[in-house]
Amino acid sequence: MGDSTWLDAHEQAELVRSGQASPSELVDAAIDRIERVNPQLNAVIHERFDKARAEAAGDLPDGPFRGVPLLLKDLGAMSEGDPYHCGAKFLKELGYTADHDSSYVTRFRQAGFVIVGRTNVPEFGSTVTTEPLAYGACHNPWNLDYSTGGSSGGSGAAVASGLTAIAHGNDGGGSIRIPACQNGIVGLKPTRARVSQAPDVGEAWMGGTIDGVLTRSVRDTAAGLDCIAGGEPGDPYPAPPLERPLAQEVGVDPGSLRIGLLDHPLMPGIEANAECAAAVHATGKLLESLGHKVEVSHPEAFGDGEFQGQFVNIVSVASATDLDAWGRKIGRPVTADDVEPGNWLFAEIGRSITAPMYVTSVEWMHQYQRRMAAWWATDGFDILVTPVLNGPPPALGYLSDPEEGLNRVISYLQYTAQFNITGQPGISLPLATSENGLPIGIQFVGDYGREDVLIRLASQLEQAQPWADKHPSVHG
């Protein structure tokens, strides 16, 4: 079979289709890489090796990725009979397991993927660095002293290091794009409701959370999303339909797009990181060389200082609701001793918000969505380009510091959460590198429902400035 470490999911699937490799060989190779490399990374926290080997040797569905190994994030993606701990120590101590598959996990299986394990997350996915007390920090494969981002940090590190070519992630404030940015891979946050969260969730965080994949190639991102996209009966609302599968957009000429650049935070008192700003401008020059119309511009509403407080209201109420729901599942209330202090604080804030206050925040956000959408719909722009984060990957411990961590997270998190609320698709591409050799991702945001435009542009950029041969020092 040869070494499959740096083959993307398409190439691995072709080995199976052509008879050059069996699903069992691909799965065994992935398990070998995890066993050798993961002790340095702490990216995979639940091994599923025996089940994966049995499934690979059995009658797999004849889907487009038959036999390709896949990792699931240990948050949101429930797989029947497997641990489901969400980075929380009380669920770890209880040995909690899922009693059913999330709908998109079933779709992953139907596509032929073989689930080999589950990946590390910050507790309940509530921050942008993966350092849960329950499982310990996940380490960046480019430099083990640095963060992998969050909350899909384990998935990001696993894909970047070649453990698997593709992994599940989800995004409520940047949690696919941020790990993609900090690990030097591709991460697309789909349009709101593009992927159903059935059967357990209709919408979370006012529709701000969404599931997707982290990969090393644009075509894997497109086809991976095709596998899990689509509604389920009873979903509260659908995403706008795409004209054709996203895999068919790879390599399609995007034409000459009108693109706006934003290189600095708009929150008062937050200074722009010079390396990230420079990366945005370098990307602007690359886009111009490809025939796009580039100008310094962004939606005026993007700088509305009230957004942060309204977003905290939405997330805090959700945090309180989630802890109450877990209390019902485990048969006793969840207490401050069960969760990390930051999550308990969020829940306490959520319990202090009355129903009228919450609805007021939702209504404010609805108006914010309309003001943001005008830049695309009325001003005529196709794409907004920003940094993903206001800084390269920080050292482990920097964002989780008990005294200064929250303020540091706010300083970093300047460009992503807005598009969870607007529901627009955004993708992080590995187009820059920091002075100390760490990845810097660039964010591209499309109009509502226009993942097709993002995939066309991302594919063009992948050809113009390839990243496939760039590998971290720690790898499979």
**What is the spatial distance between Cα 417 and Cα 212, in angstroms, rounded to a whole number?**
16
Which SS3 state, helix, strand or coil, does residue 140 take?
strand
- Residue 118, domain member (yes or no): yes
pLDDT of residue 383: 99
How far apart are the C-alpha atoms of 324 and 337, rounded to whole Å? 15
| 471, part of any domain | no
d(CA 298, CA 404): 30
pLDDT at 181: 98
Q: How far apart are CA 390 and CA 434, in angstroms?
A: 12
Query: Does residue 455 fall inside a structural domain?
Result: yes
pLDDT of residue 195: 98
4 within a domain of the structure (yes/no): no
CA distance 77 to 357: 31
Nearest to 415 by CA among 447, 391, 380, 450: 391
Helix crossing, 218-228 with 451-464: angle to 10°? Answer: 160
Give the pairing type, strands 210-215 and 186-189. Answer: antiparallel
Report the CATH number that the domain containing residue 47 is assigned in CATH.
Answer: 3.90.1300.10
| Residues 159/124, Cβ–Cβ less than 8 Å | no
Residue 153: the pLDDT is 98
Residue 189: both structure tokens together? 């946050």
Q: Cite the active site residues.
A: 73, 151, 175
Report whether 214 contacts 152 (CB < 8 A).
Answer: yes
Find the farthest-apart pair of alpha carbons in the chain and give their distance in angstroms, rounded.
61
Per DSSP bridges, beta strands 293-296 and 258-261 are parallel
Which residue range is the domain that position 131 belongs to? 9-464
Is 475 a member of any domain?
no
Number of structural domains in the chain: 1
Tokens matching residue 100: 């059913």
Q: What is the pLDDT along the chain (476 residues), one digit of tens a residue?
A: 899 999 999 999 999 999 999 999 999 999 999 999 999 999 999 999 999 999 999 999 999 999 999 999 999 999 999 999 999 999 999 999 999 999 999 999 999 999 999 999 999 999 999 999 999 999 999 999 999 999 999 999 999 999 999 999 999 999 999 999 999 999 999 999 999 999 999 999 999 999 999 999 999 999 999 999 999 999 999 999 999 999 999 999 999 999 999 999 999 999 999 999 999 999 999 999 999 999 999 999 999 999 999 999 999 999 999 999 999 999 999 999 999 999 999 999 999 999 999 999 999 999 999 999 999 999 999 999 999 999 999 999 999 999 999 999 999 999 999 999 999 999 999 999 999 999 999 999 999 999 999 999 999 999 999 999 999 999 99
> Is residue 269 in a domain?
yes
User: Residue 247's closest CA among 271, 275, 218, 215?
Assistant: 218
- Asked if the structure places residue 1 within a domain, the reply is no
Quick one: pLDDT at residue 1?
Answer: 85
Q: How far is CA 113 from CA 106, 245, 398, in A?
A: 10, 18, 36
Question: What amino acid occupies position 267?
Answer: M
Give domain status of residue 263, yes or no: yes
